[in-house]
Structure 1
Amino acid sequence: MRFYFLIIFLLPLQVLANYSVIDSLNAKSNDKYEYGLNIKKTIIPVSLVFVGVIGFESNGFEIFNEEIQEEVAENIDRRFTIDDFMQYAPAGVVYANNLLGVKGKHSFSNQLLLQGTSLFIMGAVVNTLKYTAKEERPDHSGFTSFPSGHTAMAFVNAELLWQEYKDVSVWYGIAGYSMAASVGIFRVVNNKHWVTDIAAGAGIGILSTKISYLIYERILTRKKNRKQTALMIPFYNTKQLGLSCSITF
């Protein structure tokens, strides 16, 4: 089905874009920050969000969405619940690796912090858009179709898996993004979302995790590595004797 190939086609593009970033880092890129955002790192997720947003105003995308849902209705007569669980699967791999002793980029506690920050950013963006756009779902069950929260959650976790284990094997990225894309596909198959909802959710999920790593690197680690100094200078002004203290932290 066309929507299946559309989403699967985007997977290797994102992994390859990220993988080329690794190569550039290994080649001692001039970028002092590993998680700094640039066009190469964000072009795929930004494009996905863009596709989702213009879906509101584009007659071409509206027709495309309707054609996909017609194909779903004609060819698939059952619904699946696997998307409710698979959205967490990539993160499950991260924490399973911790139990198995496969070390990721960060410690377990920092992985939890990074995931929590990513989910906070994603949740804020997704819920704001849902209750602002008020897009009706294909099955007419509500007006919270845009963007897909399940898909955003899945791609948050897929990007977490990739960021933590990209130095171990590229297959972690492929596996994580494949699971996340499957969630998006099932949301369309279950008639809960339009394809443009899925695209936007995927882009938001990826960007949310990238931003959380950027925040961690630029703010949290900087505070951790910042040198703390204390300077004490005695003073006497003919009337008073004391110490002047200066602390930098």
Structure 2
Amino acid sequence: MRVCKILILLVLCAFTVIGQAQEDSVKTDTVRVMDNNPYRFRIRQVILPATLIGVGIIGLESHWLQYQNRELRDELRENIDSKFTVDDFSQYAPMFAVYGLNLCSVKGRHSFTDRTIILATAYALMGITVNTFKMTASVERPDGSSRNSFPSGHTATAFMGAEFLRKEYWDVSPWIGVAGYAVAAGTGFFRMYNNRHWLTDVLTGAGIGILSTQAAYWLYPTITKTFFRKRYKNIFISPYFSKEEKGVSCHIAF
């Protein structure tokens, strides 16, 4: 029963992010237009990842959360006959899906070069944050193998990729993002199933991954302007749908 609750929690985290994006939609009788500027900071984008990270940090000292960690670990161990190392590969699936879809002629928001800049920025932010926490917190793994359990790097990578996939292909179909988050949630679950991480490790990793990608999009205009000499002030991208046609309009203010 506890395992089912955890799976529901991870899925709810995923759909909360999707739901936040849906709130940005504006519908009319014939046209559906989304506020599609991914570079604009919105405070509500921070709420979910900050909450997940906060729960994990509190769990470093909270006896109640540590008890929940142990109870979940013990429940999983009772029903495990063998490990499934799918999480070693699934952590990368959402980010690779962005490039795979493009190779299949499903165009995302950015070109190959621009999306690579964003992904590299997100991966750097995520890696620095995760490793800083690992070195300072020094939490022992559930299997006792080392003291770098907090937070889960696999989960952070998976959720970073899922948010990247969602942002790049939201205009094509919201379900692409849903699929990415489902894979990310599964990665977090298998980190616990394989006795490599505590629940609070996974929650914090998910928050770090989501926030890293969001921050990468916020930083993208500054990075490209500073290092790649892209000189523009604002980019406005909006899809349009009607009975006669559909497409995406782009306006660049220099």
Query: Normalised by the shorter chain, which TM-score bucket?
Result: 0.7 to 0.9
Shift of 1:225: 2.4
For 1:23 and 1:68, the matched residues in 2 are separated by: 42
- TM-score by length of structure 1 reads 0.84
3-state SS, counterpart of residue 186 of structure 2? helix
User: Hey, what does 2:145 align to over in structure 1?
Assistant: 141
Computing the radius of gyration from Cα coordinates, the structure with the larger value is: 1
For 1:172 and 1:61, the matched residues in 2 are separated by: 33
For 2:35 and 2:111, the matched residues in 1 are separated by: 24
Q: Does 1:37 find its partner at 2:41?
A: yes
User: Hey, what does 1:3 align to over in structure 2?
Assistant: 6
- TM-score by length of structure 2 reads 0.83
User: Hey, what does 2:83 align to over in structure 1?
Assistant: 79
Aligned residue pair count = 224
Q: Does 1:178 find its partner at 2:175?
A: no
User: Hey, what does 2:166 align to over in structure 1?
Assistant: 162
Correspondence 1:1-249 to 2 at 5 A: 1=3, 2-23=5-26, 26=33, 34-220=38-224, 223-226=229-232
Give deviations 1:172-212, integer Å, cap 9, x for gaps.
Answer: 11001100010000000000000000000000001111111
Runs of 4+ in 1 over 4 A off after TM superposition: 22-25
Q: Are residues 35 and 71 of structure 1, via their aligned partners in 2, closer, same or farther at CA, if it must alter by over 3 Å? A: same
For 1:163 and 1:72, the matched residues in 2 are separated by: 34
3-state SS, counterpart of residue 35 of structure 1? coil
Q: Indicate the RMSD between aligned Cα atoms, in angstroms.
A: 2.0
CA contact (8 A) 2:133 2:151 kept: yes
CA contact (8 A) 2:25 2:35 kept: no
CA contact (8 A) 2:151 2:205 kept: yes
CA contact (8 A) 1:158 1:176 kept: yes
Q: Which amino acid aligns with 2:6?
A: F
- The answer for unaligned runs of 5 or more in structure 1 is 228-249
Q: Are residues 26 and 8 of structure 1, via their aligned partners in 2, closer, same or farther at CA, if it must alter by over 3 Å? A: same
Give deviations 1:135-165, integer Å, cap 9, x for gaps.
Answer: 0000000000000000000011111101100
Q: Which amino acid aligns with 1:12?
A: F
CA contact (8 A) 1:154 1:183 kept: yes
CA contact (8 A) 2:38 2:167 kept: no
Give deviations 1:42-90, integer Å, cap 9, x for gaps.
Answer: 2111111111111111111111111100101111221111000001111
For 1:76 and 1:226, the matched residues in 2 are separated by: 55
With 38-47 and 67-76 compared, the bigger mean Cα shift is at 38-47
Q: Are residues 22 and 207 of structure 1, via their aligned partners in 2, closer, same or farther at CA, if it must alter by over 3 Å? A: farther
